[in-house]
Chain A
């Protein structure tokens, strides 16, 4: 059988004749279309162009005012400032370059801005207003208006721009806004037409970003009729938008300001203060910080480079994003787990000879000489490692992990902040899953002293301390109210631990701060009604190697900054009626009792007194030194901030 089934030569002729007829018809239709096109465009073109231009109905968006952000006392943290900007419409300007040159005598532009503006003017359609300069001074504005005849197509518009009056204090918590980028548009999947406005400002970090939808509000629209030169002839109708919701945070601006200043005495530190009664976050600080106002306009390249190349990471919110081995602060969890499981009593003593041997491996106590016979209270007070090596073997990692989880470790708090860290509470199953190795008893020993795989953020440690102080499963709260409606305080169920267990561990923490030889004794509170309970932690970044020992490096301070230990301290006060809990981490600071404990004490006192505490709250011998340190702190004048509710 041939591939070609049939060929019919006779038919082809008929195809050709008919095809020509069809083509004739097609050409006829095309001619008709061309004629119609000509009629519409050329003959009636002038009339239609008039229609298009005279009755050009323009829909303009009215950007809503962004919601304000307040602290717990209604002090403004983020506000909208009015500013004037100058826009130019190309088709009205005529000679764009000449007009721009004249304008630049009043409003100087950098060569880069000048080039950007020219490009933008060329790129956009002739009738679209293009912003030339923003944030004009009043005199500049007046001068532009006075010279209006020489500046055709140039008009001034009133706009709102975000301002953060308290600057660096709230850079991490409140965050900042910035112009919407192509990247944002692609990833936000938000059909809001406001986002199409060039340089429209949206939240880029912190509360500004997480509550973007609430803060932004909804656009209004204005239908206007414009004539051929773009002048607005009349407004047809107007639908007012809806301004964004006002947000009140639980943070206290005074305490926050003090915290940032106090943390600033160290190279890199972070802290959290939380209300033990209801979980309100009173202050969240990460130092060094930065000025969020720089981001609002779009930060300059050298400024941004400074921030990203700073080794102390000012852009990161270390209080919630940073995770550290909690060190000895984690012993609190191990003690609770051991007591609750009935595997140790408060009277039982363990003998610490400075180390224990496990197979071929030797685990040291921080005190090489050993603590001798030591009970639970003293194990916390002096932070004996050997005691917790023993507990780890008795209790096992699973029970320790379960206790830690009960206190919120390893868990991401649902707060409107960026990149909240979950930390890590290791279990046997976790290690198998992620590392692929089975759990070893040595891992438990390391975990028991808060080293090895265990990781926690300052926020988690503060919440843990608050839960310990209250005995209830508090949830942290950052939003106090939205548009005046108080946000719910999550119910805090009882942790379900026996009062005896809790009291034993709290007693140990009390001893840390208030008994001689306690690791935190030097940083105690002297005021009898406000005594604090704490626990220090020093988490090893890496061991001092044998080689370094040979070179004579035995002390942490001899190491380069990046390799030094982290200093941690958790505390709450007053001991008998807990009000505030705190966690402080000084990155690569050294010993927790030395470097973090004084900060924790200062923060608790500041919170308890609602301002600068009297020197009488400190031990007599320290008062002169405290006064000196205090004089060096640069704090904001409390009178400079006035609650907005009072102003109104």
Chain B
């Protein structure tokens, strides 16, 4: 207690906080976003319309929001973690009741001038709430069944709401992100082994539910799974996404076909080329060198986040940082696995690169929290 209060005085204040930002991380974020702008420019056929201009605008706004979040002391964020979780949950319920239906799913909620996707907010809020929970919880209790049940509930309730929308990708991200925070907080291995077994059972149940009256997934989701397992089933129909995206990736070769020269993306073979499938364009045009470089940049971001957490002696700050790092990791890993045919098409954007406002904003808020934890970490004098 006295140790932290004492050291709190060593925390930078005012504009000096700028000097204590995690600058390498910021540079990496900007670099990846720039790659995103370049790809959106290419996808639009060499034009800043219709995607680059709004994306740059959103990035600018998000960047400012990130700095604002970063400059607010981390203890403020801890104190409102529960509230943030609660609000996100209410919004999720709101979506379920009054949300906008778009593209066959109910994900949006209209709040006057802005439309938000509460499921995106929840990705951050859940991590915050879990970090705050484990910060509050005595370390000796973390593996007691009752104290494990509570965070599991915190994960499952929003997950169920998101699944109902239906948004498989986000549900997966919530489960894995929340699980990772629990794991890093020190919950016993045994629980994870049990969860894994239960997950396997769930998958079996879901697959068995197909065609019955209590079918747990929509038909198109089942179809996507089938086609994921065997894309050849329907190369010009629903398997089209995966086949075409693999062809696009593959035709890129070692060095790619050259910037703005991708035939697959240019000829509109690729669906949603500006959002979920943008990586295929990048890999087609910039080749393995480009794709691997982006992957490296992503891993560097995760590594810098981990290092920041490693040097942070505040349990909330460290857990939050790690949780956000994990969420970010899941974003790009699931997206890349999806376009490379390693995971079913679930609709997760490529972070900082795909066209889209909410995802960009949420990621930058997440990075803002990481920065806040970094700036306001306890220091030895």
Contact = CB atoms under 8 A, between A and B. Distances in A.
Given A11-B186, A22-B184, A26-B329, A49 B295 contact: no
A27 interface: yes
Interface stretch (A30-38, A447-455, A512-520): A30-38
Interface stretch (B116-124, B167-175, B246-254): B246-254
A11 B315 contact: yes
B364 interface: no
Interface string B308-330: 01101111001100100010010
A90 to B, nearest CB: 10
A128 B268 CA distance: 13
A6 B186 CA distance: 18
A44 B252 CA distance: 10
A306 interface: no
B318 A41 contact: no
A12 B247 contact: no
B249 A40 contact: yes
Contacts of B287: 41
A29 to B, nearest CB: 5
Interface in B273-306: 283, 287-288, 291-292, 295, 298-299, 302-303, 306
A6 B261 CA distance: 56
B358 interface: no
B250 A4 contact: no
Contacts of A41: 249-250, 252-254, 283, 287-288, 291
B191 interface: no
Interface in A394-447: none
Contacts of B138: 8
A42 B315 CA distance: 44
Nearest to A196: B45
A125 interface: yes
B147 interface: no
A8 B5 CA distance: 13
A576 to B, nearest CB: 64
Given A3-B73, A4-B5, A22-B322, A40 B267 contact: no
B135 A48 contact: no
Contacts of B329: 26, 29
A643 B129 CA distance: 81
B33 to A, nearest CB: 20
Contact of B186 (A15, A38, A48, A123): A15
Interface in B5-44: 5, 8
Contacts of A53: 251, 263
A18 B340 contact: no
A52 B309 contact: no
B322 A49 contact: no
B56 to A, nearest CB: 18
Nearest to B139: A11
A637 interface: no
Given A6-B136, A30-B333, A127-B263, A15 B251 contact: no
B246 A48 contact: yes
Given A5-B78, A15-B184, A49 B267 contact: no
A12 B315 contact: yes
Contact of B310 (A16, A27, A57, A127): A16
Contact of A8 (B139, B184, B299, B342): B139
A627 interface: no
B4 A7 contact: yes
A126 interface: yes
Nearest to A41: B288
A498 interface: no
Contact of B184 (A4, A18, A57, A125): A18
A44 B291 CA distance: 15
A48 B8 contact: no
Contacts of A46: 253
A2 interface: yes
Contacts of B313: 7, 9, 12
Contacts of A3: 8, 73, 75
A58 interface: yes
B303 A30 contact: no
B185 interface: yes
Contacts of B5: 2, 4
Contacts of A42: 253-254, 288
Contacts of A11: 134, 139, 185-186, 315
Interface residues of A, number: 49
A19 interface: yes
Given A3-B8, A15-B309, A40-B250, A52 B288 contact: no
Contact of B139 (A10, A56, A57, A126): A10
Contact of B253 (A2, A12, A33, A45): A45
B361 to A, nearest CB: 24
A127 B262 CA distance: 10
B295 A30 contact: yes
Contacts of B262: 125
A300 to B, nearest CB: 26
Most A Cβ at <10 Å: residue of B5, B251, B288, B303: B251
Contacts of A38: 288, 292
Given A7-B315, A23-B306, A40-B340, A33 B1 contact: no
B299 A27 contact: yes
Contacts of A9: 3, 313
A14 interface: yes
Nearest to B328: A26
B1 A37 contact: no
A48 B249 contact: yes
A51 interface: yes
A125 B315 CA distance: 53
Contact of B340 (A15, A36, A57, A128): A36
A49 B253 contact: yes
A439 to B, nearest CB: 44
Contacts of B315: 7-8, 11-12, 15
A47 interface: yes
A125 B266 contact: yes
Contacts of B312: 12
B183 interface: yes
Interface in B131-182: 134-136, 138-139, 180
B354 interface: no
A54 B44 CA distance: 25
B295 A34 contact: yes
B229 interface: no
Nearest to A29: B333
Nearest to B288: A41
A58 B262 CA distance: 14
A36 B279 CA distance: 14
Contacts of A2: 1, 5
A6 B319 CA distance: 14
B183 to A, nearest CB: 6
Contact of A33 (B46, B180, B322, B336): B336
Nearest to B318: A15
B366 interface: no
Interface of B: 1, 3-5, 8, 46, 73, 75, 78-79, 134-136, 138-139, 180, 183-186, 246-254, 260-264, 266-269, 283, 287-288, 291-292, 295, 298-299, 302-303, 306, 309-310, 312-315, 318-319, 322, 326, 329, 333, 336-337, 340, 342, 378
Nearest 3 CB-CB pairings of A with B: A48-B250, A52-B251, A45-B253
20 contacts: A3-B8, A4-B5, A4-B75, A4-B314, A5-B75, A7-B314, A7-B315, A7-B378, A8-B139, A9-B313, A22-B183, A26-B333, A33-B295, A38-B292, A41-B253, A48-B250, A51-B247, A59-B268, A126-B261, A128-B266
Given A30-B298, A125-B260, 12 more contacts: A2-B5, A9-B313, A15-B322, A33-B333, A37-B288, A40-B249, A40-B250, A42-B288, A47-B250, A52-B250, A59-B267, A125-B266
